[in-house]
């Protein structure tokens, strides 16, 4: 039960942390605790792994994995994911394999339903918070059985349509119930306010760093149904994001570039994507 609570807390951090990039930078990036949190969150958001079955401990950059998974493929996947997390020097994969028939799904079913709902909610909230056109909107997100309900207020019909479409495009969402209301007087972040906030942050020496932008761009691409699994490499320098890799069509290429351009704090996008036949 304690592992389930940890996962829910981490999911909340994913959504809440998205709204506060400056707070994210204040964490000791690269520390054992930071690596452990990043790795645990990554497992939670991976649709092929059951995060309840994997324990993560990190000491001096060495990640030790334990617990049980269904087969060797899942064990290897967990290990490879750990190797790809920044700051991990070595991975000790002590995960054991255990056929699904030996587990007790009745005990995990309810937990997993809640975890899946929390995961989808976190993904939708993150996408809304990290998009420059929706980050200031007062939108509530609730998920049940893959059905996402949006509540709150927006300032125009086009903002409502954008929020609904972004929720529909989020990985794991089956249906979106739109309960948003249009209120011209609703609070929102205008371009002028956003610019002034950014200027103040720069003057205070707290500008969002390139690593944070790269992380958010990669996550947005992962959370989106149309780009999840795409072969795209992301790098950032001085707020300019460079995309390299392959996509199946010119239409998908334009979609990816537009999606990245709308991520908060991205100044511009250098498109080096190639279209494969």
What pLDDT is stored for residue 212 in this prediction? 82
Q: 227 lies in a domain?
A: yes
Which whole number is the average pLDDT over 122-141?
84
What pLDDT is stored for residue 167 in this prediction? 92
Tally of structural domains, the chain: 2
Q: Residue 143 belongs to what H/E stretch?
A: strand 138-144
Q: Residue 187 belongs to what H/E stretch?
A: none
Cα-based distances in Å from 136 to 73, 128, 159, 217, 264: 41, 9, 11, 18, 11
Residue 236 tokens, joined: 């950032």
pLDDT band at 269 (very low <50, low <70, confident <90, very high): very high
Confirm if 263 and 132 have CB atoms less than 8 A apart: yes
Distance CA 241, CA 258 (A): 12
Q: Could you tell me where the DSSP H helices lie in 131-244?
A: 157-168, 191-203, 210-223
What pLDDT is stored for residue 273 in this prediction? 93
What pLDDT is stored for residue 190 in this prediction? 43
What pLDDT is stored for residue 148 in this prediction? 94
> What are the residues whose beta carbons fall under 8 Å from the beta carbon of 200, sequence distance 6 or more?
none
Mean pLDDT of the chain: 77
Q: 92 lies in a domain?
A: yes
pLDDT band at 94 (very low <50, low <70, confident <90, very high): very high
pLDDT band at 193 (very low <50, low <70, confident <90, very high): very low
Q: 20 lies in a domain?
A: no
pLDDT beyond 90 at 260: yes
Domain stops at, among 58, 87, 103: 103
Distance CA 29, CA 32 (A): 9
Which whole number is the average pLDDT over 26-52?
72
Q: Which domain holds residue 89?
A: 31-103
Domain stops at, among 103, 135, 165: 103
Q: 216 lies in a domain?
A: yes
CA proximity to 37, closest of 21, 50, 24, 20:
24
> What are the residues whose beta carbons fall under 8 Å from the beta carbon of 152, sequence distance 6 or more?
137, 138, 139, 140, 180, 181
Higher pLDDT pick, 6 / 120: 120
pLDDT beyond 50 at 225: yes
Q: Which of 37-41, 67-71, 173-177, 182-186 has the lowest mean pLDDT?
A: 182-186
Domain stops at, among 69, 103, 137: 103
What pLDDT is stored for residue 201 in this prediction? 38
What pLDDT is stored for residue 114 in this prediction? 73
CA proximity to 17, closest of 1, 29, 4:
29
pLDDT beyond 70 at 188: no
Q: What is the CATH number of the domain that holds 63?
A: 3.30.1340.30
- 2-25 pLDDT, tens digit per residue, is 454 445 545 555 544 444 444 444
Q: 139 lies in a domain?
A: no
What pLDDT is stored for residue 104 in this prediction? 53
Confirm if 15 and 121 have CB atoms less than 8 A apart: yes
* pLDDT cut 70: percent of the chain above it: 72
Q: 264 lies in a domain?
A: yes
Q: Which of 72-86, 183-197, 260-274 has the lowest mean pLDDT?
A: 183-197
Higher pLDDT pick, 101 / 276: 276
In the chain, DSSP finds a helix count (H) and a strand count (E) of 9, 10
Q: 225 lies in a domain?
A: yes
What pLDDT is stored for residue 277 in this prediction? 66
Higher pLDDT pick, 137 / 172: 172
Q: 261 lies in a domain?
A: yes
């Amino acid at each position: 039960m304690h592992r389930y609570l940890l996962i829910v807390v981490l999911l909340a951090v994913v959504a809440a942390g998205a709204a506060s990039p400056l707070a994210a930078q204040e964490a000791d990036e690269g520390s054992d605790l930071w690596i452990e949190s990043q790795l645990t969150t990554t497992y939670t958001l991976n649709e092929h792994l059951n995060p309840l079955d994997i324990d993560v401990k990190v000491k001096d950059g060495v990640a030790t994995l334990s617990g049980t998974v269904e087969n060797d493929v899942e064990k290897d996947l967990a290990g490879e994911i750990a190797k790809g997390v920044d700051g991990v020097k070595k991975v000790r994969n002590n995960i054991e394999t255990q056929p699904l028939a030996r587990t007790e799904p009745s005990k995990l079913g309810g937990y997993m339903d809640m975890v899946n709902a929390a995961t989808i909610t976190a993904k939708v909230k993150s996408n809304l918070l990290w998009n420059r056109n929706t980050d200031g909107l007062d939108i509530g997100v609730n998920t049940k059985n893959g059905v996402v309900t949006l509540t709150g207020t927006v300032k125009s019909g086009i903002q409502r349509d954008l929020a609904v479409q972004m929720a529909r495009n989020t990985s794991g969402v089956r249906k979106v119930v739109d309960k948003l209301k249009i209120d011209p007087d609703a609070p929102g972040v205008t371009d002028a306010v956003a610019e002034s906030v950014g200027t103040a942050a720069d003057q205070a020496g707290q500008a969002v760093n390139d690593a944070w932008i790269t992380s958010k761009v990669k996550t947005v691409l992962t959370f989106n149904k149309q780009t999840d699994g795409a072969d795209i490499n992301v790098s950032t320098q001085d707020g300019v994001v460079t995309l390299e890799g392959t996509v199946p069509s010119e239409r998908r290429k334009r979609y990816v570039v537009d999606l990245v351009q709308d991520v908060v704090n991205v100044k511009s996008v250098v498109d080096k994507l190639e279209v494969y036949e």
